[in-house]
Amino acid sequence: MCLRVIQPLPDAYEAAIEQLVEVSTGIYTELQSEPLSCCASRYSCLEQMPFRNRPQTPRRKESSKGKRPIATTESRPATPENLSEIVQEHPEEAPPGWAEAQDKIADSLGLSVLLVDGRQPPALVVSNNNSICHAFQSSPEYVGLCDPYCGDAHRRAMSAGAAVQYKCHAGLQCFTMPVEIGREQNLAVIGGRAFVSGADYRSLVDRFRAGELNDLLSSGPFTNVIFSEPQRLEQLAERLDKAARTVAAGVQIPTSNFQSLVSTGSGPGSPAGQPGRRGGSDRVAPAAETPSDLQSEVDRLRGELEYRSHLAESLQRFLERISSTEPDKAYLAILTHSKDLLKAERASLMVFDEGTNEISLRAAVGLATKEEGVGRTRLGEGISGRVLESGQPLVVENLETAGLTPAPPERNYKTKSFISYPITMRGRKIGVLNVTDKTAGGTFDDVDLSLLEIIGPQIAVALDRAEWQERATQFQLMSITDPLTGLLNRRYLEERLTEELNRSSRYNYSMSCLMIDIDDFKNYNDRNGHQAGDVALKITAHCLKATLRSADVACRYGGEEFCILLPQTTQSEAGVIAERMRQRVTETDYPYDKSQPLGTVSISIGISTFGKHIDTAEKVIAAADRALYNAKSQGKNRIDFYVDNLTGSFVAK
């Protein structure tokens, strides 16, 4: 087996990740109704928080002559009555020209950038902030979690005198480094704030699902989630260093020349691997780019933008449709959109059964053989079973060179490359997604696996919901279904009969009801045993269902009695259906049917029809039951009707 280590996302996918917003927000919407703490506990958290991080009202201090005005605050302790968001930035305090340059660099690379002159928040300038960071750092209750990381970033940068990388409590990869902008030597930048692996993202998602971060949901933590790879963070550090030197030189940065400012590359004073090192007496401006170089870069960016747009659209469609409340639709949507996203022709979904410790095929798209022909597999057996047991995804470029056994020829696979991806949630095994036959005969690689890593948490949640919905549906059906015959039970009949009567009364529809009893069933049971009696009940139920229309409702009323609702059916039409049932039963072979008094198993039927004096559920059932009694007293194996007369009494017909 050839297990691939999951690689970080290529930069072409970063923009598409922003489309995770809608489904990520939807996953946790139901959590918002579960309060995490009361105001008193929030106030307690505030009291233990550094004073500078409590909600404050910013106030400008008058500056001394010749000095840039500095930000200060005149604050009062935060209490439950005056809770507010923490101020995040003071852009008016930034060096002239820097805010615009920082915004453009952050937008071009799709990463977050902050300029700080001490502990933050607040920063001087915040660009393209990760919504997760904004949610944490604007919350008086949660900002303390960020203090050892971004809160202390300025001190760490100034102490090291160079770029320092770190991963925060949320799993976001960041760096901080000192920058010199003109005479300002006490400045540092914080850059990145991006997930560089799907595992870090899933870990944070699990914290929300567990309720640990419930109170942050109202802050929109998933409106601008940023993904990246480590190399892009290095590029960001280089571009920020270059921008600092450009702004420090007093050069205005027109939009037409902005590409040269944000282009990749390090000056001699910023060697590779150590972006942004201070003390640049040996720094020189980078060589000017030629028009052909600029045009090539423009063409490359245009192509990348078109690809990102297409990918974002694919992800958007995927995320919008996988969370169906109907299990079958959810399974099909997951497969269809996963297949399209990875540009594959086939996909299958295996679901794990904890009770039997087996996985079985739940849905498939493009499968050459019938789904019924794919058997169940025990955990740890076969490719899917081993992948789910290990929890590690498997990417295979060529199954023969990987030492794997090819699938049977009748499967008609076009290529030898596939991905088998385990779907888990907080350590619980859910299933396996298999994707094969890359379009145009290509092979799957780590790029495809990275995409699955992005959508993996959403697939897991959608599958989990579909499974619960399916179980709920099964439990609901069990509660209204007779376990022996498979017909609906008396409980359902009583609810449905009231609905049909209301509909008939409102729209002046006809409605009929049949009460059916197996003739001499006690004799059949006593002579042949209860097991034979159960078989006779099953056969009779099958005969009744076989003669009904799709809108008709067949129920087991109790013992050997059955009840049939016939919506929008007149008395004469009900008689035709009843006669068809009677004939079907008498013509059907039953075990021991010759032992019956009539020489065959038969039924008697009583019919009532909705009318002026038969207008409640109780009256409908009572009328049909009295008609049934009359049919049995008249010799059995026959049909009788009841209609209401002008006085409201019941008369046999």
Task: Give the alpha-carbon dihedral of 410, 413, 414, 419, to 10 degrees.
Answer: -170
Q: 114 is written with which tokens? A: 């902050």
Structure tokens at 89: 């930035």
For residue 411, give the nearest of 348, 327, 342, 491 by alpha carbon.
348
- From the list 516, 533, 629, the residue with the least C-alpha distance to 574 is 516
Taking the CA atoms of residue 169, residue 175, residue 181 and residue 187 in that order, the dihedral angle to the nearest 10 degrees is 40
**Nearest partner of 608 among 632, 581, 627, 629, judged by Cα:** 627
Of the candidates 560, 561, 573, 587, the residue annotated as catalytic is 560
Would you say the C-alpha torsion 5, 6, 7, 10 has a positive or negative sign? positive
> Pseudo-torsion of CA 140, 142, 147, 149, nearest 10°?
-140
Strands 639-644 and 603-609: what pairing?
Answer: parallel
Amino acid at 566: L
Q: Which two tokens stand for residue 133?
A: 């960071």
- Best CA proximity match to 603, nearest among 581, 623, 618, 624: 581
- Number of H helices and E strands in the chain, helices first, is 18, 19
Report the residue count for the chain. Answer: 653
Residue 560 known to be catalytic: yes
For residue 408, the tally of other CB atoms under 10 A from its CB is 11
Residues in contact with 327: Cβ distance below 8 Å, sequence separation at least 6, in sequence order: 466, 467, 469, 470, 473
User: What does the alpha-carbon distance between residue 483 and residue 470 come to, in Å, rounded to a whole number?
Assistant: 18
Which stretch of DSSP H or E encloses residue 39? helix 39-47
Evaluate whether 267 touches 201 at the Cβ level (below 8 Å): no
Tell whether the torsion through CA atoms of 484, 490, 492 and 496 is positive or negative.
Answer: positive
Catalytically active residues, by annotation: 560
